[in-house]
Amino acid sequence: MIAALSIMIFDENRIRASIIEEGLREAGHDKVVVLHDIVGLARQIEIIGPDVIVIDIETPNRDMLEHLFQLTRSVRKPIAMFVDRSDSSSIEAAVEAGVSAYIVDGLKKERVKPILDMAVSRFKAFSRLQQELAEARSALEERKIIDRAKGILMKSRSMSEDEAYSLLRQTAMNEKRKIADIAQSVVTAAALLGS
């Protein structure tokens, strides 16, 4: 029986790291270690001797790892992830997702690829979540600003809430702009005019 691969995840983003960890555990990898802090990383690598290190490509700390591998004889010779250069689509996917990895030399590609694919897909899922969260936040902001604009119109023009909203919507349609933009103008104008 082949020994289970030992996988180390280094990501300063704790949430993303735990998402990847969870994915790997679900896929049956139980030797997974997650590190968030560069302090002590070198020592952890020496102690654990991981077969695969997954690292966030946006951290400048990758250069620290390069130095460590160059210096330390006790660390088994790792190579950067893109071992199979013919597989350019998966290289692109990894770089786009923001993942890099180091793999102990000699490890069979078939054993590593599922791990990397998992990391890449989880990185992507995380970016998608972040994107959705950002969109949800901005929707919430828009909602708030529209409510404020409605309040201003209701007070200054003695309108009902429905009338105020209709006016905002009609103006937005006439000017081919978003309701939130019109609402923002109303709020800004009100602030300038001190009403």
Partner 1 sequence: MSFIRTGIDNGGLAAPATIASPGSRLVRAGFIPLVDAAILIAAVEFGFAAREGIQLSLIKDVSWANIRDRLAFRQFDVAHMLAPMPVAASLGLGSNPSPVIAPFILGRGGNAITLSLGLYRRMQTMADLSGKQDALVNARALKRVIEVRRNEGLDPITLGITYPFSSHNYELRYWLAAGGIDPDLDVKLVVVPPPMTSDALSAGVIDGFCVGAPWNMVAVSRGVGCIVAVKEDIWAPSPEKVIGMRPDWFEQNSETGSRLIVALDRAARWCDDGENRRELAQLLSDPNYLDVPFDLLHRVLLGQFTIDPDGAERTVPDYFNFHRDAANFPWVSQAQWIYSQMVRWSQVDYSPSLAGLAGAAFRPDLYRNAIGVRPDTPVNDTRVEGAGTADAFLDGAVFDPANITRYLQSLGSTKGDE
By CB under 8 A, tell whether 100 contacts partner 1: yes
Name which of 97 and 168 has its Cβ closer to partner 1. Answer: 97
Which residues, at least 6 apart from 15, have a Cβ–Cβ distance to it below 8 Å? 126
Q: Which x/- pattern over 3-42 shows residues binding partner 1 (rule: CB under 8 A)?
A: ------------------------------------x---
Site for partner 1 in 71-90 (CB under 8 A): 71, 78-80, 82, 85, 88
Among 13, 18, 44, 59, binds partner 1 (CB under 8 A): 59
DSSP code per residue over 139-181? HHHHHHHHHHHHHHHHHHS---HHHHHHHHHHHHHHHT--HHH
Strand 7-10 relative to strand 52-56, pairing: parallel
Under rule CB under 8 A, residue 106 binds partner 1: no
Whole-number Å distance between alpha carbons of 42 and 18: 21
CA angle 166, 170, 173 (to 5 degrees): 140
Beta carbon nearer to partner 1, 88 or 166 = 88
Distance CA 36, CA 92 (A): 25
Q: Does 113 bind partner 1 (CB under 8 A)?
A: no
Residues lying near partner 1 in the complex (CB under 8 A) are found at 39, 57-71, 78-80, 82, 85, 88, 91-92, 95, 100, 102
